[in-house]
Amino acid sequence: MIERVLAIETSCDDTSVAIVDRSGWVHSVVAASQDLEHELYGGIVPEIAARNHSIALIPLIEEAFKKAGMSWSDIHGIAVTNRPGLIGALIVGLVTAKSLSQAKKIPFLGVNHLEGHLLAPFLKDSQYSPPEDFGYPYVGLAISGGHTSLYQIKGLGDYKVLGATRDDAAGECFDKFAKMAGLGFPGGVRVDQLAKTGNPEAFEFPRSMIHDDTFDMSFSGLKASGQRMLEQLGPELVQEQLPDLCASFQEAIVDVLIAKLDRAAKVYRAKRVILTGGVSANSRLRARAEKWAAEKGLTLVVPPIRYCTDNAAMIGYAGVLRMAQGETSAMDLGPSPQALT
């Protein structure tokens, strides 16, 4: 029986390894960030991401074992993200998983990164466990630098895409605005910090598709509007008004996300809602979502940030559940750009 897996996540710019049980218990999760390398270029450079994964991965696997106090004899399978993501980055994780699977004579399974994000609320460790009443079905909003999508999650492997951004992801929109305002990369967290002392009504930004009757979103108009506003003001005024600019820009994103979540919860009569992905670290989004959920009588689960951003623990959990059902991948499995459909 597959009870415990080693998990590998290399789909974007974070290298992460975890050891996870079928119960969701995380024995260890370790990661190497590449933010400093990519900051020099103002965005993620796929070639650099792949190269850094290949340097960091094996030492991280050793560290994950050490932290868990375990060895290969405790591991029944290997879960690895094989879709979607940067192809070169995915290949590093995938070939490592295949090699270890052959060397250690245990099965491996390719896991969808988005499935990992959607199941992250079930993870457990000494500091976090989901609320007692948490379980299927629930509505999930996955928001990160690469994706912004709404799902109905009815069970393992039973996911319905309700809607998604038609252009930029919310995280990308945060990051581009931050970069244009001179706040570095990735800048979502800087916008969040500066916005705390700003007035969200100081500047007007568009909220595209907020009232249309789909679950789709669009952030490219907001991104362009942010750029125009920064150019019109000029560097000195931008510097002076950064808190107000950040608060107003952030509010436009949060308004759209909450409106779509509200619509999905209503239409699908949800009792439980989750936020997942790096942008769910945003303090304004969390506060607004908590207030909204309390008003509607919904259970809102936002996993701790270590399980919201890209991490191998969520991949391990999705993988161990599937492997326990008998799923494995063949040696010819390749990386793929396929999201959850």
Q: Which residues bind Zn ion (CB under 5 A)?
A: 144, 310
Task: Return the one option of ligand KG4, Zn ion, none that residue 189 interacts with (CB less than 5 to 8 A, by type).
Answer: ligand KG4
CA gap 184, 334 in Å, rounded: 34
* Residue 248 binds ligand KG4 (CB under 6 A): no
Min CB(17)–Zn ion separation in Å: 16
Kindly identify the residues of this chain, within the stretch 41-60, that bind ligand KG4 according to CB under 6 A: none
Residue appearing with tokens 């994103």: 253
Rounded least distance, CB 118 to ligand KG4, Å = 12
Cα–Cα distances (Å) from 274 to 150, 154, 170, 214, in that order, read 10, 13, 16, 19
d(CA 122, CA 84): 22
Q: Find the binder of ligand KG4 among 281, 300, 301, 314 (CB under 6 A).
A: 281
Among 279, 289, 300, 313, binds ligand KG4 (CB under 6 A): 279
Should residue 110 be labelled a site residue for ligand KG4 when binding is judged by CB under 6 A? Answer: no
- Interaction of residue 226 with ligand KG4, rule CB under 6 A: no
- Provide the annotated binding site for substrate: 142-146, 175, 188, 192, 282
Between CA 274 and CA 41 the distance in angstroms is 33
Tell me which residue of 136, 61, 64, 120 sits closest to 277, measured CA to CA. 120
13 vs 244, beta carbon nearer Zn ion: 13
188 contributes a contact to ligand KG4 by CB under 6 A? yes
Cα separation of 191 and 292, whole Å?
Answer: 22
Residue whose pair of structure tokens reads 């942008």 in the numeric block? 279
> Which of residues 28, 101, 225, 309 is near ligand KG4 by CB under 6 A?
309
174 binds, among ligand KG4, Zn ion, none (CB under 5 to 8 A by kind): ligand KG4
Asked if 192 touches ligand KG4 (CB under 6 A), the answer is yes
At 112, is the secondary structure helix, strand, or coil?
Answer: strand
Does residue number 140 form part of the binding site for ligand KG4 (CB under 6 A)? no
d(CA 304, CA 276): 9
93 binds ligand KG4 (CB under 6 A): no
Residues whose CB is less than 8 angstroms from the CB of residue 161 and which lie 6 or more positions away in sequence, other chains included:
149, 150, 151, 340, 341
Spatial CB neighbours of 231, under 8 Å, sequence gap ≥ 6: none
- Pick from 110, 171, 303, 335: which binds ligand KG4 (CB under 6 A)? 171
The residues binding ligand KG4 (CB under 6 A) are 12, 144-146, 171, 174-175, 186, 188-189, 192, 277-279, 281-282, 309-310
